[in-house]
Amino acid sequence: MQHYTQSEAYTQIGLDIINSNPDFEHLKGADVRVAFLSCTKPKRSKNKVTFGECIKVTEINKVFNPYDFFIVIYEPNVENFTDTQIKILIEHELMHIGVEYKDGEAIYYLVPHDLEDFKNIIDKYGTDWAEV
Ligand SMILES: [Zn+2]
């Protein structure tokens, strides 16, 4: 059974964030390809519920798919989220996408959190944005 599907709703939210939020100016210029996925399987990591995840596609996997990153939202873990919380979560996941240029070529990497969360997410929404 396939638990992952591409989500049109999350794609729309993600593109809106990239296009309207100055924090993501660097992603607009880069041709970074992001697939927004919905997963029906719950996920936990280090005993904590995982709401979403940003996964960098490895070079070898790009042979079989055209994306640089997957942003996965774990549906069972966000079923009580409001629309606003979903947007903040997607914004959080987008912040994991790092782009660097070397000899004119874009190099992608995963940006780690500066705290438990990203500082600008906390500044904008507080530390308890994910409380449901
Ligand atoms: Zn994160």
pLDDT in tens, 43-82: 988 888 899 999 999 999 999 999 999 999 999 999 999 9
Q: Is the pTM of this model over 0.75?
A: yes
Ligand 1 centroid distance, CA of 74 (Å): 13
DSSP state of 5: E
DSSP state of 111: P
pLDDT in tens, 89-122: 999 999 999 999 899 888 999 999 887 788 889 9
Ligand 1 centroid distance, CA of 132 (Å): 18
* Domains of the chain with CATH codes: 4-124 (3.30.2010)
121, 95 Cβ separation under 8 angstroms? yes
Higher-scoring residue by pLDDT: 48, 29: 48
Cα→Cα distances 19→23, 26, 123, Å: 10, 11, 21
Ligand 1 centroid distance, CA of 69 (Å): 14
What SS3 state is found at 119?
helix
